[in-house]
Amino acid sequence: MFKKTILENGLRIITSPMKGTRTVTVLAMVGTGSKYEIKQINGASHFLEHMFFKGTEKRPTALDIAETIDRIGGEYNAFTSKEFTGYYAKVSSKHKKLAMDVISDILLNSKFDAKEIEREKGVIIEELNMYLDTPTSYIKDLFEVLLYGDQPAGWLVIGAKENIKAMNREKLLDYFKRQYVASNTTILVTGDIDEVETIREVEKYFKDINKNKYTKKISVKEAQDKPLSLIHYKKTDQTHFCLGTRSYDFNSRDYFVLQVLASILGGGMSSRLFIEVREKRGLAYRIQCSSENYTDSGYLVVQAGVGNDRVDESIKVILDEFCKIRDKKVLDKELNKAKEYIKGKLLLGLESSDEVAFWLGHQEVLKKQILTVNEVFEKVDAVTAEDIQRVGKDIFQNNKLNLTAIGPFKDKNRFDKMLRV
């Protein structure tokens, strides 16, 4: 499915030829994000992401970069998270070299013009304002603020407004030179490609990448001895909340147990929470459960939006479902359904070249190791009912419970009293 090539300078190349497609995705992923920042420059990773599209020597303006891909009907974008940042272009396969030229050009030759940086501050602040006004997005970050507090893992990826306003070319260049280096970068090319030819092309286009050593992040510190809550007061017609528990990191032996457990609780329209919360009680339109895993921490969380007068009932139903997972073994029929749900969703997602690139890149950057689809299936299939209950007993404890809510509430104690399993 893929081939991994490591050049002498440490740059990693992942190639994945795909049959039945006429597209190619070129994705550059860098192992850096907001967890690699210090307080004074929190938001630098995300700010840099914006600046890479503002002009190079070859393509002096943002319009020049945008038109290059628009002219051929391609797609291009970027993303910043807490542990990685990515830049990609998806094009018809005959334009593969152009996509590679654009991605390498912005990463190696961006100007980071001071006037553009000043102008972009307004754009990013408005992006932050939009984000803060969207409870379905903001509530998840509030959950991590509650879990991790005042350390990189607990800061917003986009940064605080005062940091955005204080950002300058010197700070961005310093961060760029420290983190955007060959040994911290993976180039993925997937789709309708010739593998040997593609590897040669990547070597050519990225030959001038910085060869310095990169700065590693500070490890997450976790400490909790009782249930915790964080209530963000806001006049809303609906209360949005995240209710979950600390769990394990991406490299844990129980990573796949958590994925199956989350699927049982909230994977699809026949999951336990969907049936109990939506179908039986009509409490929410949307409810989901996910296992979120970083390299050094993780959590399982349920997210929903409910009527303001039905928050207590909704929380109680979810906590009851936590207890059922912990106290009673799941039946084989339900366990197998959850496994097939995970496998089916993965296969559906890997039908396009960009999704294959993201999936391979996520594994490579976070683990430096990639499992094939069949290897993932084997690990999912190996999960037993005993594993689910064992993990349930470990994570569904009072001193690991956390709740964040956005809604018209000022009494935090009422929520603290409910957090019991």
Do 421 and 399 meet the contact criterion of CB atoms below 8 Å apart?
no
Give which of 125, 24, 112 is closest to 62, Cα–Cα. Answer: 112
DSSP 140-190: HHHHHHHHH-SSGGGS-TT--HHHHHH--HHHHHHHHHHHS-GGGEEEEEE
Catalytic one of 8, 37, 49, 378: 49
Residue 276 CA to residue 281 CA, distance in Å, equals: 7
The answer to whether 67 is a known catalytic residue is: no
Residue 391 CA to residue 401 CA, distance in Å, equals: 14
DSSP 195-245: HHHHHHHHHHHTTT---SPPPPPPPP----SS-EEEEEE---SEEEEEEEE
3-state secondary structure of 58: coil
- The sign of the dihedral angle between the CA atoms of 347, 349, 354, 356 is negative
Residues labelled as active-site residues: 49
